[in-house]
């Protein structure tokens, strides 16, 4: 039977077995308490092979999704979760390193490249140098449906590509290019919304837009330097992993976690639940206001910081509403509705009851977030404008996104008013009769 070694901080904590369903066995050192496995709250410490759904959910959620998973399967001729992890499990989200049986983590090794090399790789991969292509193929392990490239930024922000499961510091997210999907300038879209969230006082991963490679560069919050200046991995798990849900059911409408499920989990697991739950509610209304309908449970994570589990900084924020052909439904149901155009005052009251928050407090958070977005959007968009080439789709995106946000916020604020105070859009200020 094939096995994969699972490492935390370069120490073997267990073996993943090629069984159906997937199974995992802890080392004796883990069982004896000599070595700590941070995911033991999900996969309880017990001797012998463990083949619960939690094993599959935890490890499967480390893999890319959608077209990226299909591409991974075609490149390496693997179709099972075990097979895919055997090829790209070296530098996953969080602290887990997965290597073929008999292999141990090696000293970090990198291929120095230029931004021009990366630009070629992103825009015309077949023209990239073979060594660059090989390095890029080996680090496609991050979850999500979008193509990503793991990089290490050194002195002077010079990029290198990690080799042999070496640690990365940043995630490069090029523009989404997918046949049949009318998505354009997604990188500057994500940069705009992420920076806007930061200005609205939400904890977010730091981002920058790189016009030369048409990509959003995201600094990894699951990496930090120790006292000796060495990079180390931090344990994190997204909420699908923590709620024992495979990535295929990340949307509530498809049987995935509800906002209440996510809220209750953070409330029960966070070391600082009041702060983290408040930020979650702010995140929910921020996404609703900016038209990010893809704000599902996998876009929320918990991070182990100084031995304490906290809600991780927010990531993968963008305005999906600007693109035709994407779902018009919100990822979470609010009250009785998924469609943002139907969410009203009563729905927010029902949400407040379900998570145990006073409805007036919830409305205050929602309207305060709307005000912060309206206040900060012009400044954030203006700062990105010089990075968008004149006549490019990036400029069209910035303009369209700004108009979409203002229009969206105006409509949502009107619907959140109590029924007697609501004004019908386009009615000249008249209340409904």
β-strand partners of 160: 112, 152
DSSP character string of 304-342? EETTEEEEPPB-----GGGSTTS--S-SS-BTTBSSGGG
Q: Does 175 participate in catalysis according to the annotation?
A: no
Radius of gyration over alpha carbons of the chain, in Å?
Answer: 22
- Grouping H, G, I as helix, E, B as strand and the rest as coil, residue 102 is coil
166, with CB counted inside 10 A (0-12, 13-18, 19+), is buried
Measure Cα distances from 10 to 13, 23, 340 in Å: 9, 21, 46
Contacts of 432 (CB under 8 A, 6+ apart): 419, 422, 424
Measure Cα distances from 356 to 186, 257, 259, 277 in Å: 36, 18, 13, 11
Q: Note whether 301 and 250 are within 8 A (CB).
A: no
> Reduced to 3 DSSP states, what percent helix, strand and coil does the chain have, rounded to the nearest 5?
45, 15, 40
Catalytic option among 238, 294, 316, 394: 294
Tokens matching residue 317? 């924020």
Contacts of 113 (CB under 8 A, 6+ apart): 132, 135, 159, 160, 161
β-strand partners of 72: none
Q: Note whether 79 and 70 are within 8 A (CB).
A: no
Q: Note whether 178 and 67 are within 8 A (CB).
A: yes
Q: Note whether 161 and 132 are within 8 A (CB).
A: yes
Tokens matching residue 254? 């498809």
CA distance 62 to 68: 13
DSSP character string of 5-58? EEEETTEEEEEEE--SS-EEEE-HHHHTTSS--GGGGTS---SS-B--HHHHHH
Alpha-helical segments (H) within 89-231: 115-123, 130-137, 186-199
Neighbours of 179 (CB within 10 A): 5
Residues marked as catalytic: 294
């Amino acid at each position: 039977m094939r096995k994969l070694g699972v490492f935390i901080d370069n120490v073997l904590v267990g073996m993943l077995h090629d069984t159906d369903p997937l199974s995992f066995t802890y080392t004796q050192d883990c069982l004896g308490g000599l070595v700590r496995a941070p995911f033991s709250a999900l996969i309880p410490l017990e001797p012998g092979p463990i083949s619960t759904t939690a094993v599959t959910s935890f490890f499967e959620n480390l893999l890319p999704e959608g077209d990226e998973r299909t591409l991974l399967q075609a490149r390496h001729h693997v179709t099972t979760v075990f097979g895919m992890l055997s090829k790209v499990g070296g530098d996953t989200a969080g602290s887990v390193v997965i290597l073929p049986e008999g292999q141990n983590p090696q000293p970090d090794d990198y291929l120095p490249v230029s931004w021009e090399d990366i630009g070629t790789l992103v825009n015309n991969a077949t023209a990239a140098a073979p060594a660059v292509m090989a390095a890029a193929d080996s680090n496609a392990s991050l979850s999500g449906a979008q193509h990503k490239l793991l990089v290490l930024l050194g002195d002077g922000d010079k990029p290198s590509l990690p080799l042999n499961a070496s640690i990365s510091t940043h995630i490069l997210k090029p523009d989404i290019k997918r046949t049949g999907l009318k998505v354009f300038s997604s990188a500057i879209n994500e940069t705009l919304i992420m920076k806007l969230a930061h200005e609205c006082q939400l904890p977010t991963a730091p981002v920058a837009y790189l016009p030369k490679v048409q990509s959003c560069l995201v600094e990894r919050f699951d990496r930090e330097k120790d006292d000796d200046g060495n990079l180390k991995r931090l344990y994190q798990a997204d909420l699908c992993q923590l709620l024992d849900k495979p990535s295929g059911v990340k949307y509530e409408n498809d049987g995935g976690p509800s906002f209440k499920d996510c809220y209750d989990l953070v409330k029960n697991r966070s070391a600082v639940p009041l702060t983290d739950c408040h930020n979650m509610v702010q995140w929910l209304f921020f996404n609703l206001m900016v038209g990010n309908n893809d704000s599902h449970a996998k876009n929320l994570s918990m991070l182990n910081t100084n031995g304490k589990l906290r809600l991780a900084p927010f990531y993968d924020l963008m305005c999906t509403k600007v693109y035709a052909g994407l779902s018009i439904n919100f990822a979470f149901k609010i009250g009785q509705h998924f469609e943002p155009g139907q969410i009203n005052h009563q729905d927010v009251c029902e949400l407040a009851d379900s998570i145990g928050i006073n409805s007036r407090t919830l409305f205050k958070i929602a309207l305060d977030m709307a005000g912060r977005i309206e206040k900060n959007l012009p400044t954030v968009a203006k700062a990105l404008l010089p990075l968008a080439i004149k006549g490019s789709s990036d400029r069209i995106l910035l303009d369209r996104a700004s108009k979409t946000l203002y229009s969206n916020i105006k409509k949502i604020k009107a619907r959140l008013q109590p029924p007697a105070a609501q004004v019908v859009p386009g009615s000249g200020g008249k209340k409904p009769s």
